[in-house]
Amino acid sequence: MTRTPSSPSSSCGTCDRPDCSAKAPRPGEGEAEFVERRELEARLCRIRHRIVVLSGKGGVGKSTVAVNLAAGLLQEGHTVGLLDVDLHGPSIPTMLGLERQRLGGNDREIHPADVGGLKVVSIGFFLSSPDDAVIWRGPLKMGAIKQFLKDVAWGDLDFLVIDSPPGTGDEPLSVCQLIGRLDGAVIVTTPQRVAAVDVRKSITFCRHLQVPVLGVVENMSGFACPKCGEVTQIFRTGGGRRIAEDMGIAFLGSIPLDPALADSGDGGEPFLRRHADSPTAERLRRLIRPIAALAAAEQRPA
Ligand code: ADP
């Protein structure tokens, strides 16, 4: 993934804003650093809304939510990118049927994959086999994430949805530090206390980094009968809602355990596309609404 940097004298040409932070070097910033920052900002300033999907634990459905959030925003007519920086367990390629995908590009930029209009980049595309493991320390991970943000030709996007690894480690930290202005984080949990306790850590992490929390999603909340769609509560539910209330943040909604949702993930197609008319799809669309409203709010006259 070696790219040729642009010359320091060339204009980034993205915007004419007099307050653009990429117009001039910051005090103490070296030339190479400035060129790199300007390239990063030139890409990012074409992305109107940046959403990171976080979870305290693995396996709670964070990637499932990220894929369907991206698919739902696309279905509403937005231009959407999906970036998978779950360096240790990239599941987006499987969930979108892109397991053997390789990306095109040239010496200046990488072209994202296109799945029915959704632009997708995953670390999984750069591994020689799905069994490969990424064994990198913090600075390498930060470098890879920076490259995804700086060198990928996302173009003009209404939304970039970023699927981050679970926890509060290097990758979510790198995303939050590099991306500048994040619209906010969607935090996914399951109803059980053991998962919900970690959500508090994710919320605290966002608060430290001044990343707004858009809300909590409680996934695997009850079981949706494949025959009639009725949701049966098999474990205690409501953990996500309680934490959201306790910590003064929005509760976006709950998603039941639905075998069709797991099948869609394994089958490489977003559930919202494959089962658009199901009750679970309706629940997913409901929890996406406040996020889609970010774009509507921006278009409304002041
Ligand atoms: P994470 O990103 O948090 O590790 P994933 O989104 O990869 O979790 O989900 C883990 C597994 O659980 C996947 O096989 C996914 O298809 C499945 N899954 C997630 N949410 C649901 C759900 N509500 N109903 C059924 N299966 C689900």
Task: Using the atom order of ligand 1, give the atom closest to the CA of residue 256.
Answer: 23
Mean pLDDT of 222-231: 85
Cα(104)–Cα(119) distance, integer angstroms = 13
Nearest CA to ligand 1 atom 26: 262
Is 178 a residue whose pLDDT tops 90?
no
Whole-number Å distance, alpha carbon 262 to ligand 1 midpoint, is 6
Question: Which pLDDT belongs to residue 40?
Answer: 86
CATH 3.40.50.300 fits 51-299, yes or no: yes
What's the Cα-to-Cα distance from 128 to each of 2, 123, 134, 151, rounded to whole Å? Answer: 17, 11, 11, 20
Mean pLDDT of 210-230: 90
Q: pTM (2 decimals)?
A: 0.90
Cα(112)–Cα(124) distance, integer angstroms = 12
Is 174 a residue whose pLDDT tops 90?
no
Task: Using the atom order of ligand 1, give the atom closest to the CA of residue 258.
Answer: 24
Cα(32)–Cα(36) distance, integer angstroms = 6
When comparing pLDDT for 287 and 165, which is higher? 287
Is 12 a residue whose pLDDT tops 80?
no
Question: Which pLDDT belongs to residue 132?
Answer: 66
Task: Using the atom order of ligand 1, give the atom closest to the CA of residue 64.
Answer: 6
* Residue 59 in contact with ligand 1 by CB distance below 6 A: yes
Q: Which of 135, 127, 66 is nearest to 284 (CA)?
A: 66
Whole-number Å distance, alpha carbon 59 to ligand 1 midpoint, is 6
Mutate to test the pocket of ligand 1, among 55, 64, 218, 232 (most ligand atoms within 8 A of CB): 64
Nearest CA to ligand 1 atom 16: 262
Is 302 a residue whose pLDDT tops 60?
no
* Residue 164 in contact with ligand 1 by CB distance below 6 A: no
**Burial annotation 173-207 (CB, 10 A radius, 16+ → b, else e):** bbbbebbeebbbbbbbbbbeeebbebbeebbebbe
Is 2 a residue whose pLDDT tops 60?
no
Task: Using the atom order of ligand 1, give the atom closest to the CA of residue 59.
Answer: 4
pLDDT tens figures, 246-259: 899 999 999 999 99
Task: Using the atom order of ligand 1, give the atom closest to the CA of residue 260.
Answer: 25
* Residue 226 in contact with ligand 1 by CB distance below 6 A: no
Question: Which pLDDT belongs to residue 300?
Answer: 55
When comparing pLDDT for 158 and 99, which is higher? 158
Delimit the domains of the chain by residue range.
51-299
Is 9 a residue whose pLDDT tops 90?
no
Is 173 a residue whose pLDDT tops 60?
yes
Question: Which pLDDT belongs to residue 104?
Answer: 87
User: Which residue's structure tokens are 């991206």?
Assistant: 70
pLDDT tens figures, 131-143: 666 666 667 778 8
Task: Using the atom order of ligand 1, give the atom closest to the CA of residue 219.
Answer: 23
When comparing pLDDT for 155 and 37, which is higher? 155
Q: Find the radius of gyration of the CA atoms of the chain.
A: 19
Whole-number Å distance, alpha carbon 158 to ligand 1 midpoint, is 26
* Residue 90 in contact with ligand 1 by CB distance below 6 A: no
Mean pLDDT of 212-230: 90
